[in-house]
């Protein structure tokens, strides 16, 4: 083997190493995005907590108008959808494209359940005349949950694209970076809700 | 194949623990429990759940140490500042 053919052999491995930095699943770029999003939500979570410290009674009274049941069901829905995504990734690692797309479709379906429950919640609040300007609690509640809601929608679109490619046989046991990239984004959406639920709905 | 079955069993176990911890959080909220210990307990549950999702669902346990440390650091800083703000509100 001469030096030129050696380069040709090792080039794909080099590209692989760049996209899978230090064993991170999926494309490295998605992790930059994930950490940026987590930072943005983190600032909002902390801002909520410190604003609450200035008017605890208002925040506690307003929090009691929220449905903890809806929040808990949505947490279970997102956790279960994340589990489905894990199973989808496990399936594609065995080269089972059809099984992978079924698990991911289940996750998208649960994403739809989350969206439906959230829309009912939002409708209830808007029908009661509550808006961003009602008080500081509702401003944070609506901003945080709507911002997260948009991420759920984006996650559903990303998983939808991954499912479409999986159904066309676009992934294999060897090449499934796209599935892991979509999965990582979806897990981030779950991770953020894990903080959001106790913070906004439960802790008083 | 054996590894895969084992990995699916682990993820199923993690999912059940996450669901159990969610129900615990919900029960505490429904019981109307409040105060310093309850707040710290709820944040600790969120920390444990976050670590489980990051390490087992996102697959960070197979990534380099510093990536796992970064997520843990995030939870400790954000959770710590939230706890500090709530303690200020209790005074």
* Tokens at A80, concatenated: 């279960």
CB contact under 8 A, A90 and B7: yes
Task: Give the distance from residue A66's alpha carbon to the nearest chain B alpha carbon, in angstroms.
Answer: 11
A26-202: CATH topology: 1.20.120
- Predicted confidence at residue A9, as pLDDT, reads 39
pLDDT at B3 over 50: yes
Interface predicted TM-score (ipTM): 0.94
CB contact under 8 A, B22 and A75: yes
Tell which wins on pLDDT, B4 or A153: A153
Q: Which of A156, A27, A21, A165 is nearest to A85 (CA)?
A: A156
State mean pLDDT over B82-87: 97
Contact residues, A window 67-106, toward B, CB-based 8 Å cutoff: 68-69, 71-72, 75-76, 79-80, 82-83, 85-87, 89-90, 93-94
- Predicted confidence at residue B7, as pLDDT, reads 81
- Given a cut of 70, the residues of chain A with pLDDT beneath it are 1-22
Q: Is A110 exposed, middle or buried (0-12, 13-18, 19+ CB in 10 A)?
A: buried
Q: Are B79 and B43 in contact (CB under 8 A)?
A: yes
Of the candidates B70, B74, B82, the beta carbon closest to that of A199 is on B82
Q: Are A85 and A104 in contact (CB under 8 A)?
A: yes
CB contact under 8 A, A24 and B67: yes
Interchain contact A190–B (C-beta under 8 A): yes
CB contact under 8 A, B82 and A49: yes
Of the candidates A23, A69, A203, the beta carbon closest to that of B64 is on A23
* Shortest CA distance from B66: residue in chain A: A22
Residue % of chain B over a pLDDT of 70: 92
Looking up tokens 């005074």 gives: B91
Looking up tokens 């999003």 gives: A37
Q: What H or E segment, with its residue span, contains residue B45?
A: helix B36-52
- Predicted confidence at residue A66, as pLDDT, reads 97
Domain count across chain B: 1
- Predicted confidence at residue A4, as pLDDT, reads 43
Residue ranges making up the domain that contains B76? 2-90
pLDDT at B5 over 80: no
Interface test with chain B among A28, A38, A49, A58, by most B beta carbons within 10 Å: A49
Over A39-94, what HEC string results? Answer: HHHHHHHHHHHHHHHHCHHHHHHHHCCCCHHHHHHHHHHHHHHHHHHHHHHHHHHC
CB contact under 8 A, B53 and A191: yes
Question: How many beta-carbon pairs below 8 A join chains A and B?
Answer: 134
Q: Name A25's Cβ contacts closer than 8 Å, sequence gap at least 6.
A: A89, A180, A181, A183, A184, B58, B59, B62, B63
Of the candidates A23, A69, A82, the beta carbon closest to that of B63 is on A23
Looking up tokens 């843990």 gives: B72
B17-46 tens-digit pLDDT? 999 999 999 999 999 999 999 999 999 999
User: Average model confidence (pLDDT) for chain B?
Assistant: 93
Domain ranges of chain A: 26-202
A49-63 tens-digit pLDDT? 999 999 999 999 999
Find the length of chain B: 91
Residue A109 to residues A69, A80, A162, A163, B62: CA-CA distances in angstroms? 20, 11, 14, 12, 29
- Predicted confidence at residue A16, as pLDDT, reads 47
- Predicted confidence at residue A15, as pLDDT, reads 43
């Amino acid at each position: 083997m001469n030096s030129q053919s050696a380069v040709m052999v090792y080039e794909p491995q080099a590209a692989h190493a760049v996209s899978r930095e230090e064993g991170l699943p999926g494309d490295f770029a998605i992790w930059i995005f994930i950490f940026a999003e987590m930072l943005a939500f983190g600032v909002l979570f902390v801002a909520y907590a410190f604003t609450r410290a200035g008017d605890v009674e208002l925040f506690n009274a307003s929090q009691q108008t929220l449905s903890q049941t809806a929040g808990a069901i949505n947490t279970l829905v997102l956790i279960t959808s994340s589990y489905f995504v894990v199973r989808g990734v496990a399936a594609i690692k065995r080269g089972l494209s059809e099984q992978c797309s079924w698990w991911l479709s289940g996750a998208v379906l649960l994403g739809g359940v989350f969206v439906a429950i959230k829309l009912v919640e939002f409708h209830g609040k808007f029908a009661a005349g509550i808006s961003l300007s009602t008080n500081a609690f509702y401003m944070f509640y609506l901003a945080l949950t709507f911002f997260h809601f948009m991420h759920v929608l984006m996650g559903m679109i990303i998983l939808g694209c991954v499912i479409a490619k999986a159904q066309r046989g676009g992934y294999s046991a060897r090449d499934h970076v796209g599935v892991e990239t979509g999965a990582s984004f979806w897990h981030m959406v779950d991770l953020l809700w894990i903080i959001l639920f106790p913070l906004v709905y439960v802790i008083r | 194949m054996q590894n895969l079955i084992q990995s699916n069993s682990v993820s199923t176990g993690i999912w059940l623990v996450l669901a159990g911890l969610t129900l615990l959080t919900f029960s505490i909220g429904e019981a109307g429990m409040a105060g310093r210990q309850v707040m710290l307990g709820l944040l600790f549950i969120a920390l444990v759940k976050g670590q489980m999702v990051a390490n087992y669902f996102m697959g960070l346990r197979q990534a380099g140490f510093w990536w796992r440390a970064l997520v843990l650091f995030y939870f400790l800083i954000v959770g710590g500042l939230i706890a500090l703000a709530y303690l200020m509100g209790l005074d």
